Amino acid sequence: MKKIRLSFLLVMLFTYLIGSAQVNTDSTIATAPQLKNSIDGNSETRKIYKRKGNLYVYWGYNRAFFSKSDLHFWGEGYDFTITDITARDEPGGHDFLTYIKPDMFTIPQFNDRIGYFINDKTFINFGHDHMKYTMDKQVTLLTGTIATGVNDGTYNNTEVLVGDDAESGVYQTERIDSLPGGFVEEFEHCDGLNDLSFEVGRLEQLWISKNCKHAFSAQGTIGTGLLLPDSDVDLLGQAPRHDMEEGKKAYHFAGYSFSASIGLQFDFFKHFFVLGKLKAGYINMPDIHTTVGGGKASQHFNFIEPMLVAGYTHSIGKH
């Protein structure tokens, strides 16, 4: 939790510094486009990798790391909260073919985005971060009331087992499987913890080739988005909204996000680039759909998302 918060603060600070540096750099270029050569007295124009008016698209893959969160569940006959829940991502892509076959390349966690450069250093974009979230098998404290099924009762910080069907546990003790279970046997945003977000970014050129066809840059972004998860929840034995066997999905706008990122980008042959980014943010989902009977859940947490993407850019007008 502390590491995720620290990483988020570092990303925000770096993004701010890049933005400040760009303002100063742009001002210098605007007022003094020619820099004096102190050796021979000749003047030269600083080379800039031209980006104004460029439209770009990219595709790539990510990993995701989540802070602990409390999960609140409510519906007919129950209203309870479980605390300090840990979860992991599901990156997929167990072999190379997964990433190149037309019917499989969207199985792993991926990123796709389209953007536009307002000027040589400022850009906007819109895209989709497809992460996955799977609750671990773990011991938690449950507080609330349940008036349905075998777990009928009132609970006050009662130690229970959740994530019964998860493949791995946070920790295994001699008594973990002896605790009462069947409360939340599975909780996943399995077909995507999908963050549809809009970003504003600034770019700092670090190097440009003599022929101006290749460049190396640092960038920073800030953004906000809407969460469209497909949640698979096995709750108190009730029928879930998501049903893999019947092909039923549970996509629903469940909340919102705020994020910031830093990255390094290598452009080559004017039209292609590779970008490595570290993104950090906050997700709040107060309206998660869980069961066929109208059950809901809420949670909020921080996340860290490293990604590697490849893209294509091209000018869409005369500039």
Q: What value does the mean pLDDT take over residues 291-304?
A: 97
Domain count for the chain, please give it. 1
Q: What value does the mean pLDDT take over residues 69-79?
A: 97
Placement of tokens 């107060």 in the chain: 286
Range of the domain at 206: 2-77+85-133+189-315
**Longest pairwise C-alpha distance within the chain:** 88
pLDDT at 94: 72
Reported confidence tier of residue 176, pLDDT bands at 50, 70, 90: confident
Q: How far is CA 107 from CA 119, 200, 252, 313, in A?
A: 35, 28, 20, 25
pLDDT at 103: 82
Does residue 274 lie in a domain region?
yes
* Dist. CA 24–CA 45, nearest whole Å: 17
* Dist. CA 261–CA 277, nearest whole Å: 7
* Dist. CA 71–CA 82, nearest whole Å: 5
Does residue 165 lie in a domain region?
no
Q: What value does the mean pLDDT take over residues 226-252?
A: 90
CATH number assigned to the domain comprising residue 254:
2.40.160.20
pTM comes to: 0.86
* Dist. CA 230–CA 111, nearest whole Å: 17
pLDDT at 106: 86
Does residue 179 lie in a domain region?
no
For residues 169 and 209, the model is more confident at 209
CB 199 within 8 A of CB 124: yes
**Start-end of H helices in the chain:** 2-31, 97-100
Q: pLDDT of 39-55, one tens digit each?
A: 444 444 568 999 999 99
CA 50, 259, 262, 85 torsion-angle sign: negative
Does residue 62 lie in a domain region?
yes
Does residue 281 lie in a domain region?
yes
- pLDDT higher than threshold 60 for residue 23: no
Does residue 181 lie in a domain region?
no
Does residue 34 lie in a domain region?
yes
* Dist. CA 187–CA 242, nearest whole Å: 11
Does residue 156 lie in a domain region?
no
